[in-house]
Structure 1
């Protein structure tokens, strides 16, 4: 446990709370978190998570840009993806987890290569969906957070474990809130 991990944890919580509220300030708060976690995961030899956070930097900048198209600073309700795309996202998540896990097992001293790879794959898909304002992003976050809690607890990253437990509950809240907002907006558009 380090000061960097504690600060990253605090910014992570701020980021997700702002995301649930659909406020654009979630993106700069998230950038602070992801920069700090690059160092935390490098020290823990969770290389897929480290690379994930490097990619998060780019996705966060993209998400910040995409959400900034709305001049009010907040976004209206999430947009649902088509079912066929969800099957594709699940397939890509599983295949990429297996391939990356195999590569990490073969060529590195990575700890928990397959679960770490799943965390990376699931998180990338969730982050992409989140940046595009897709309701289903929360489902990917929930599943990924469950795996992350186990891995981080085992690696004795207790602040990070706590953060991902909070993330899990916040993701459930996010799904409920965005779903409610989605159906309210959809019913208004139908009238």
Structure 2
């Protein structure tokens, strides 16, 4: 456990907590988090996760813009339902990205756990996109992904990060509840 990992954990926890609160602060905190974790994952030879941080950076900028445009008068971000078609497309895209990235990492790098890391990266991208688009279903996917991340980080002796991802599971459940309550308060949105 390095000072860099400690800083990454703190900033990441704040970013996810502010996301559960539907606060625009989640985006700049998220950008700081991915910068820190990019270095942590480079040092751990989790290259898919390292590359994922760069892509997350782009998604975070995109999400910031999307959320900025969707703020209500009370300062809360309006949530949106996810259609079955978009859910299927997202999951298929996550699967394709997982296979492609896993094959690339196994063939061209000395990545530790290339297929598991790539699968988690692929589906994390889908969850992050759904978060940026304000879909409540993002929380269900984050819960599933984070459960597996906890195990992977334990295997890699990144115990503090494993603890963070265990906390992310709790935050994702809280986020799901909070976003559902927000959706129920808005007559145009049906929660998942």
Could you state the TM-score of these two structures normalised by the residue count of structure 1?
0.93
* Matched residue, 1:115: 116
The answer to whether 1:41 aligns with 2:41 is yes
Secondary structure of the corresponding residue to residue 187 of structure 2: helix
**Which digits, 9 at most, give the CA deviation of each residue in 1:39-76, with x for residues without a partner?**
00000000000000011111111111221223768333
The answer to whether 1:81 aligns with 2:82 is yes
**Unaligned segments of structure 1, at least 5 residues:** none
**Which digits, 9 at most, give the CA deviation of each residue in 1:19-47, with x for residues without a partner?**
11101011111111110000000000000
**Which digits, 9 at most, give the CA deviation of each residue in 1:78-104, with x for residues without a partner?**
101101111111111122212211121
**Unaligned segments of structure 2, at least 5 residues:** none
Superposition misfits of 4+ residues, deviation over 4 angstroms: none
Between the two proteins, the alignment pairs up a number of residues equal to 189
Compared CA separation, residues 2 and 81, structure 1 to 2 (3 A): same
Alignment partners' CA distance in 2, 1:62 and 1:188: 22
Alignment partners' CA distance in 1, 2:87 and 2:107: 30
* Matched residue, 2:61: 61
Compared CA separation, residues 182 and 71, structure 1 to 2 (3 A): closer
* Matched residue, 2:5: 5
2:59–2:128 CA contact under 8 A, matched in 1 = yes
Compared CA separation, residues 179 and 132, structure 1 to 2 (3 A): same
Could you state the TM-score of these two structures normalised by the residue count of structure 2?
0.92
